[in-house]
Amino acid sequence: MVIGAEPYQSRVLAPLPIINDQIELSNPDQTRIARARQLTEFGLRDQAALELQSLAVLDPKKSSDRAKLSSSTLLHLIRELSASGLYLTSFTLIDPILQRSDESLYHRPIVELIYPTDQFTTISSQGEKNGLDPLFVLSLMKQESGFEGQILSRVGAEGLMQLMPYTGREVYGKVFGSPSAVERRDFLQPELNVTLGTAYLKQLSERYNGNGAMMLAAYNAGPARMDSWKKSGIAERGFLEFVEQIPFSETRGYVARIFRNYVYYKALRENVLVQIPDDRSSERKHPFWNR
């Protein structure tokens, strides 16, 4: 399993390349982009989304449609989608570019499209309030919702940090004193969702002594399951061994992907190279494996 970052820092932090804006879209499609820009400027995000999604998705049954577009065209669409807050759709267009293994694409402006920092002001405030690294929270949010605040999962999780309603109400009661005062639709409010999500992460941090990998496993699979895994002894091993031994494949991938997100966010925001936790090191603290 590839969990860490390949040698990436020299590329991520490289000078900005010139991105060619010459694209081969038809005139009607160009008109759609212009219309979406105007709608976004007027605050009509949903209408802008319809314009861009119909253009970006093309025919979902024909993935080869995207393969026919140049990297410049795809990048143009990705930037338009990101500017409108349609990150999840933009991420689906990024994959075809990366699969081309074009070395010229691995530069900061491209990586920043993959790792946006939406809601970072709120995340920073609530993260610091709860003793959390804001970039850890940001990395989780990217995986949970792709920064789309109105998203609902198939199992009922809601909002930016994908809170389950019962978890949201429980945490709301601890933070604000009255769980009955909150309604389910309230969890879709970005600021409240982040407030409750970071408060819940604080609870998990206290429960698992700040061990980021265990916190994430509990966030995804539930604290009861994480506690049972801990009792089984897998938490006595090193970071990589722990992740590999998580019984649920979804949770294994979840922890690994958020670690990857964190590596890139630390490089982009703080110029810090995060190493995979090494049990042989004399350093006993690591954001993902605090022993």
Which residues are designated catalytic?
144
How is residue 171 written in tokens? 């945490």
The CA dihedral of 268, 269, 271, 273, to the nearest 10 degrees, is -70
CA-nearest of 290, 273, 269 to 137 is 269
Q: How many CB atoms lie within 10 A of CB 116?
A: 17
Token readout for 166 is: 């019962």
- 270 within 8 A of 136, measured Cβ to Cβ: no
Yes or no: say if 269 and 135 are a contact pair by the CB < 8 Å rule.
Answer: yes
CA distances from 24 to 15, 27, 33, 201 (A): 27, 9, 13, 46
Q: Who's near 110: CB < 8 A, 6+ residues apart?
A: 75, 97
The one-letter amino acid code at 134 reads P
Q: Are 290 and 239 a contacting pair, CB within 8 Å?
A: no
